[in-house]
């Protein structure tokens, strides 16, 4: 009785609805990636033009030349992600279990940074951490720090900036996962004489892991590929792969090398993400990510 009737056109409807947006993505997402791969296999220079030569050794060349920055990007990204998880998990836990009636207020506070431009937020750290700024200035004046001590242009500043910028992306999915933990399960654990620590380690933590996985995904990819933090807070010794890609495109005009590097970065990160998502199910990760 409640079964849906099929009307003529029903079978076509989803395709017609998807088509316009799909065409846009085909033209400006799928095609560009293919073009980028093709460009990475060309040789030539900016003045004489580039020809398709399937010169695969460009890939070997860029990896050899820039492996330091590649490894550095992945390392910074990994450290920032772990820091986000360590800093963010207790916050998510507190909001989920201890914030009581004011949960939404604290979630809102967590979202506030998104109302300020990413570049301005990072720039604000530049002001705070400046060599004679509000933090270092007074400490230097009273002689606690030597006059040439600086935080900017160090890995600490860049990783700190990355951790700062991507922290909410970790806290929110973890919060969602913790929020879904059935209080009855916790009660059952307590009734069975589990201590607080045992309840947390054996019940709450495992149930919240999907949230942590989603958070890792949402922080690791953008922080590895980020170059705004390295650009504003970093120096020559903290150059990340994003900075290199930009230089190759705009300063060196070496399009094949730039394309190859971008593809290596995207390939590496997407591969990591997909193997990660495969083990958990794409839908689940997407859902968690969309919240």
Partner 1 sequence: MTTTVAPAAEAPATPRPRRAGRGRRPTLTLYTGLVLAWLLLPIAVMILFGFNDTHSKVNFTWQGFTLTWYEHLFAIPNLTSALVNSLTIALVVAVVATLLGTPIGMALGRYRFRGKGSVDLLMFAAIAAPEIALGAALLSLFIVMGVPRGYWTIVIAHVAFCIPYVAITVRARMVGHDPTLEEAARDLGAGPWTAFRLVTLPMLLPGVASGALLCFALSVDDYVITSFNAGRTVTFPLWVYSASRTGVPPQVNVMGTLIFVGGLIIAGSNVLFSRRRAS
154: left (phi over 0), alpha (psi -120 to 50) or beta: beta
The one among 80, 230, 245, 257 contacting partner 1 by CB under 8 A: 245
Would you count residue 125 as binding partner 1 (CB under 8 A)?
Answer: yes
DSSP letter for each residue of 62-73: HHHHHHHHHHHH
Q: What is the largest CA-CA distance in the chain?
A: 83
Would you count residue 60 as binding partner 1 (CB under 8 A)?
Answer: no
Would you count residue 54 as binding partner 1 (CB under 8 A)?
Answer: no
Q: Considering only residues 64-93, where is the footprint of partner 1 by CB under 8 A?
A: 87-88, 90-91, 93
Task: Please state, in angstroms and rounded to a whole number, the distance separating the CA atoms of residues 235 and 35.
Answer: 32
Query: Residues binding partner 1: what is the number (CB under 8 A)?
Result: 98
Task: Please state, in angstroms and rounded to a whole number, the distance separating the CA atoms of residues 286 and 278.
Answer: 11
Q: Considering only residues 136-195, where is the footprint of partner 1 by CB under 8 A?
A: 137, 164, 167-168, 183-184, 187
Segment (H or E) for 86: helix 57-97
Q: Quick check: helix, strand or coil at residue 234? A: coil
The one among 47, 51, 115, 146 contacting partner 1 by CB under 8 A: 115
The one among 63, 116, 139, 201 contacting partner 1 by CB under 8 A: 116
**What's the min distance (Å) between Cβ of 126 and partner 1?**
6
**What's the min distance (Å) between Cβ of 206 and partner 1?**
20
Would you count residue 212 as binding partner 1 (CB under 8 A)?
Answer: no
Would you count residue 249 as binding partner 1 (CB under 8 A)?
Answer: yes
Task: Please state, in angstroms and rounded to a whole number, the distance separating the CA atoms of residues 289 and 100.
Answer: 25
The tokens for 60 are: 């070997």
**What's the min distance (Å) between Cβ of 205 and partner 1?**
15
**What's the min distance (Å) between Cβ of 18 and partner 1?**
5
Would you count residue 24 as binding partner 1 (CB under 8 A)?
Answer: yes
**What's the min distance (Å) between Cβ of 270 and partner 1?**
6
**What's the min distance (Å) between Cβ of 119 and partner 1?**
4
Q: Quick check: helix, strand or coil at residue 148? A: coil
Residues 6+ apart with CB under 8 A from 136: 129, 130, 145, 149, 150, 151
Segment (H or E) for 44: strand 42-45
């Amino acid at each position: 009785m409640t079964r849906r009737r099929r009307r003529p056109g029903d079978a076509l409807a989803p395709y017609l609805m998807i088509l316009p947006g799909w065409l846009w993505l085909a033209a400006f997402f799928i095609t560009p990636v293919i073009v980028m791969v093709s460009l990475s296999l060309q040789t030539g220079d900016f003045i004489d033009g580039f020809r398709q030569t399937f010169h695969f050794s460009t890939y070997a060349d860029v990896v050899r030349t820039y492996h330091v920055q590649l490894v550095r990007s992945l390392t910074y990204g990994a450290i920032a992600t772990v820091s986000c998880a360590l800093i963010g998990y207790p916050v998510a836990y507190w909001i989920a279990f201890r914030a009581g009636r004011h949960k939404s207020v604290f979630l809102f506070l967590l979202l506030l940074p998104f109302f300020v431009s990413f570049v301005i937020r990072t720039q604000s750290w530049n002001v705070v951490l400046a060599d004679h700024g509000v933090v270092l200035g007074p400490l230097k004046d009273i002689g606690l720090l030597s006059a040439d001590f600086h935080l900017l242009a160090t890995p600490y500043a860049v990783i700190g900036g990355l951790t700062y910028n991507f922290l909410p992306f970790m806290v929110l999915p973890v919060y969602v996962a913790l929020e879904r933990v059935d209080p009855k399960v916790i009660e059952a654990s307590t009734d069975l004489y589990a201590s607080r620590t045992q309840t947390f380690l054996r019940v709450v933590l495992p149930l919240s892991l999907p949230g942590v996985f989603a958070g890792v995904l949402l922080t690791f990819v953008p922080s590895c590929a980020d170059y705004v933090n390295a650009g504003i807070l970093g120096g020559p010794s903290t150059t990340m792969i994003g900075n290199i890609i930009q230089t190759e495109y705009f300063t060196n005009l070496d399009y094949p090398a730039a394309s190859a590097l971008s593809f290596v970065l995207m390939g590496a990160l997407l591969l990591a993400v997909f193997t990660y998502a495969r083990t958990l199910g794409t839908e689940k990760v997407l859902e968690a990510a969309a919240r």
